[in-house]
Structure 1
Amino acid sequence: MLPADSTDFLIAETLETFPSSLKGGVVAIGNFDGVHRGHRAVLDAALGLGHGTHHPVFAMTFEPHPRTVFNPSRPVFRLTPPVQKTDMLKACGLDGALVLPFNKDFAGMEADAFVQDILIGTLGISHAVTGYDFHFGRARQGTPDYLRAAGASNGFGVTIVQRAEDEGAEVISSTRIRDSLGAGDIAQANALLGYRWFFDAKVQHGDKRGRDLGYPTANLPMAPDSPLLHGIYAVKVKTEDGWHDGVASYGRRPTFDNGAVLFEVHLFDYSGDLYGQTLRVHLISYLRGEAKFESAEALVAQMDLDSAEAKAAIASITPLSGLDLKLLELDR
């Protein structure tokens, strides 16, 4: 279940619980994993239509990811799992989100039933906005042209947003962002997103070796399918008492045990107890790869250098967008 949200952003997880205050609104439809710049072109188009016509604006999205449903042995790493995705949709200024369960029965629905029963019958939409590559219904028969024709026949507007490209004329996609994270190219991943990529994780107990080295860390488990490159990162971290700057190591600790993969964060200005807290970690930059050192002293000397480099990287950041500014709370 998604958490209860404030009254200015409504979340429904079934058609039966769809709030009446959003009926008749403008719907942006898509998976929106990452809520990247291409997705936000769809959301911005919906927001513009809603503001111009005084209709509520909401997103229709699907969980789990369709590719995971059809190929469960190779699940898709989620840039924004459900809670983070709805956080992002709220930050974009929408009035709510309808997060529909996606399964093979839903995928087998006829395109006409999707339009008549859901878009018209339940949601009563005034306008639908989708990306150029959105398809729906059995055998993907619901194409953008099909949706346009259905809108014209049934009295709702349809806007199809064309593909968003980066400065190199390459399409902005969730797959490219995952690949960038896997290559350690945090600058490109963040540029495609338009904000610093983040994840949430609950602090777990570790061997407390970092404390002995003078670098106490919060140990955070990552998703088993995380593509993130092992190495050292500059980060900003939100704890229960606010934001902190830090340096992090992601990997297996080859100097010591080469054990289970962990994301270990050292906060520069924190001395309290983080155990049990769920932290939100924003990646600022990738500093270097994971390495094995001949002694603990050599490792500490490198950690000193990593900390100085992380502080310099964090001090030099500028917001990538208004959304990035909001997410990082640099204006607090």
Structure 2
Amino acid sequence: MKIIENYTDLNQEYHKSVVAIGNFDGIHNGHKALIRKVVQLANQNARLAGLITFTPHPRVFFSGEKNFSQINDEVTKQDILSRQDLDILFKIKFNQHLSLMPPDVFFNHVLKNGINVSHIIVGSDFKFGYKRSGNIEILRDLSKENDIGFDVIEKQANSLSKTYSSSSIREYLLQGNIAEANKMLGHYWYTMGVVITGANKGNQIGYPTINIRLDGSIKFAHGIYATNVYIDSKRYQGATYYGKRPTYDGTEEFLETYIFDFNSNIYDHEVKVEFIDFVRYDQTYESDNKLKNQMKIDCENVLIKLQYYDKKFSLLDK
């Protein structure tokens, strides 16, 4: 997948692509249906399959990362998209200039004269342009006037008629309901990061952990999770804690993982942590010994949960 950030001087080989447009936070089952349509149409017409997205997320731009919870950071989002059979990812910088463009100016500047698309596919709730004043009717008319193909993909739902949506997934993550979030995503939710030096508290109680600092816009329930950890493409089982370490009066959020049957030094290595299920919420313990006893119970529960997961549901094992 070719990543293109400058669309104003685009090489002609990337012109006339079939594209989807959106924020695509989470890349859930609804997004994947839209992307499959893009890939299918591109293949049928011997075109490149592309996706146009924005960085930062417009809601982060307007409200700041502390006031908006994203499902994926940019690195993880790009990693997921690289597994969707797309040829091109157009990463459009969302800034003041772009936010003030009326719908017709955005269409002409970005889609027609910039990327020079041949076909546009969007979701039924797509909005664009200044103050989200452009809708699918406006986009359909602009596309027709400029001889550009246009399709709308209706909202997708599961067998229980629950619509796939990024907002629902954010709520599930904040609740610790990782199982429902994963069902909506169609893959195990995961995050990526570089292993950093920690406070060595886990090692002191017999459970050494790897520590990762996450993007500040990623928010989910503090507690213990059953996870898979990928190091140099090899999968390990893990018990992951996310929170502020209240037992030690912590103030900063960390992601730390005890990896079963693993004792190598991997500082500065990039790892991927895949969340399979939630075990319990964060708690404060009166002593290291009580925390150690709880960790033993947590690890037993983690291994029980990991016995039943479906490996085919993982993007990272493919």
Give the count of matched residue pairs: 318
CA–CA separation in structure 1 for the residues paired with 2:75 and 2:65: 23
Does the aligned pair in 2 maintain the 1:12–1:19 contact within 8 Å? no
> Which of 94, 100, 112 matches 2:92?
100
Does the aligned pair in 2 maintain the 1:201–1:280 contact within 8 Å? yes
Instruction: Tell me, yes or no, if structure 1 residue 34 matches structure 2 residue 22.
Output: no
1:72 CA displacement:
3.1
Does the aligned pair in 1 maintain the 2:17–2:42 contact within 8 Å? yes
CA–CA separation in structure 2 for the residues paired with 1:137 and 1:257: 46
The answer for the alignment partner of 2:15 in structure 1 is 23
1:124 CA displacement:
2.3
Identity of aligned residues (%): 31
Does the aligned pair in 2 maintain the 1:210–1:216 contact within 8 Å? yes
Q: What is the correspondence of 1:242-253 to structure 2 with a 5 Å cutoff?
A: 242-253=234-245
Instruction: Tell me, yes or no, if structure 1 residue 151 matches structure 2 residue 143.
Output: yes
1:225 CA displacement:
4.3
**SS of residue in 2 equivalent to 1:169:** coil
Mean alpha-carbon deviation: is it higher for 84-93 or for 160-169?
Answer: 160-169
Mean alpha-carbon deviation: is it higher for 255-264 or for 177-186?
Answer: 255-264
- The 1:17–1:87 alpha-carbon spacing in structure 2 relative to 1, beyond 3 Å, is farther
Does the aligned pair in 1 maintain the 2:20–2:34 contact within 8 Å? yes
1:151 CA displacement:
1.9
Does the aligned pair in 2 maintain the 1:165–1:171 contact within 8 Å? yes
Q: Please list the CA deviations of residues 94-138 of structure 1 after superposition, one character each: whole Å capped at 9, or x if unmatched.
A: 001110111222122232222233222222221100011112122
Q: What is the correspondence of 1:54-93 to structure 2 with a 5 Å cutoff?
A: 54-72=46-64, 75-93=67-85
**SS of residue in 2 equivalent to 1:328:** coil
Instruction: Tell me, yes or no, if structure 1 residue 328 matches structure 2 residue 313.
Output: no
Q: What is the correspondence of 1:124-135 to structure 2 with a 5 Å cutoff?
A: 124-135=116-127
> Which of 184, 188, 198 matches 1:196?
188
Does the aligned pair in 1 maintain the 2:34–2:123 contact within 8 Å? yes
- The 1:72–1:290 alpha-carbon spacing in structure 2 relative to 1, beyond 3 Å, is closer
Does the aligned pair in 2 maintain the 1:30–1:60 contact within 8 Å? yes
Does the aligned pair in 2 maintain the 1:18–1:98 contact within 8 Å? no
CA–CA separation in structure 2 for the residues paired with 1:73 and 1:195: 25
Does the aligned pair in 2 maintain the 1:252–1:258 contact within 8 Å? yes
Does the aligned pair in 1 maintain the 2:70–2:219 contact within 8 Å? no
The answer for the alignment partner of 1:14 in structure 2 is 6
Does the aligned pair in 2 maintain the 1:10–1:19 contact within 8 Å? no
> Which of 212, 218, 226 matches 1:220?
212
- The 1:72–1:301 alpha-carbon spacing in structure 2 relative to 1, beyond 3 Å, is closer
**SS of residue in 1 equivalent to 2:31:** helix
Residue 32 of structure 2 aligns to which amino acid in structure 1?
R
The answer for the alignment partner of 1:232 in structure 2 is 224
Does the aligned pair in 1 maintain the 2:107–2:142 contact within 8 Å? yes
CA RMSD after TM alignment:
2.0
CA–CA separation in structure 2 for the residues paired with 1:219 and 1:162: 41
> Which of 248, 257, 266 matches 1:265?
257
**SS of residue in 1 equivalent to 2:40:** helix
**SS of residue in 1 equivalent to 2:248:** coil
Does the aligned pair in 1 maintain the 2:191–2:273 contact within 8 Å? yes
CA–CA separation in structure 2 for the residues paired with 1:271 and 1:73: 35
- The 1:142–1:224 alpha-carbon spacing in structure 2 relative to 1, beyond 3 Å, is closer
**SS of residue in 2 equivalent to 1:40:** helix
CA–CA separation in structure 2 for the residues paired with 1:195 and 1:167: 17
- The 1:297–1:140 alpha-carbon spacing in structure 2 relative to 1, beyond 3 Å, is closer
CA–CA separation in structure 2 for the residues paired with 1:198 and 1:217: 18
